[in-house]
Amino acid sequence: MPEHAPSQRPSPSTTRHRHRLLAGCVAVVASLALAACGTANGALRPEPSATAPGTIGPVPSAPSSTPSSAPPSSAPPSSSAAPSGSAPTSAGPSGTPSKPVTAGPATTAPKPATPRPSTPKPPPPSTAPATRPPTAAPAPPAPPAPPASGVSTTVVRSTASGGRTVALTFDDGPGPATGEVLDLLARYGAKATFCQIGRQAAADPAVVKRIRAAGHRLCDHSVTHPQPFASLPHDKAAYEISAARDMIVQAGGPGTEVPWFRAPGGGFTADNQRIAADHGLRPLGWSVDPRDWSRPGVASIVSTVQSQLRPGGVILLHDGGGDRSQTVAALKQLLPWLAAQGYRFDFPAR
Task: Please give the positions annotated as active site.
Answer: 171, 318
In angstroms, the CA 256 to CA 251 distance is 9
Q: Which of 1, 52, 342, 334 is nearest to 170 (CA)?
A: 334
Four-residue CA torsion sign, 73, 76, 82, 84:
negative
8 A C-beta contact, residue 244 and residue 219: no
Our CA dihedral for 322, 328, 329, 333, rounded to 10 degrees, sits at 150
Burial label for 4, CB within 10 Å (0-12, 13-18, 19+), is exposed
Q: For every residue of 87-135, which 3-state class applies, written as one string?
A: CCCCECCCECECCCCCCCCCCCCCCCCCCCCCCCCCCCCCCCCCCCCCC
CA quadruple 176, 182, 184, 190: dihedral sign: positive
8 A C-beta contact, residue 177 and residue 202? no
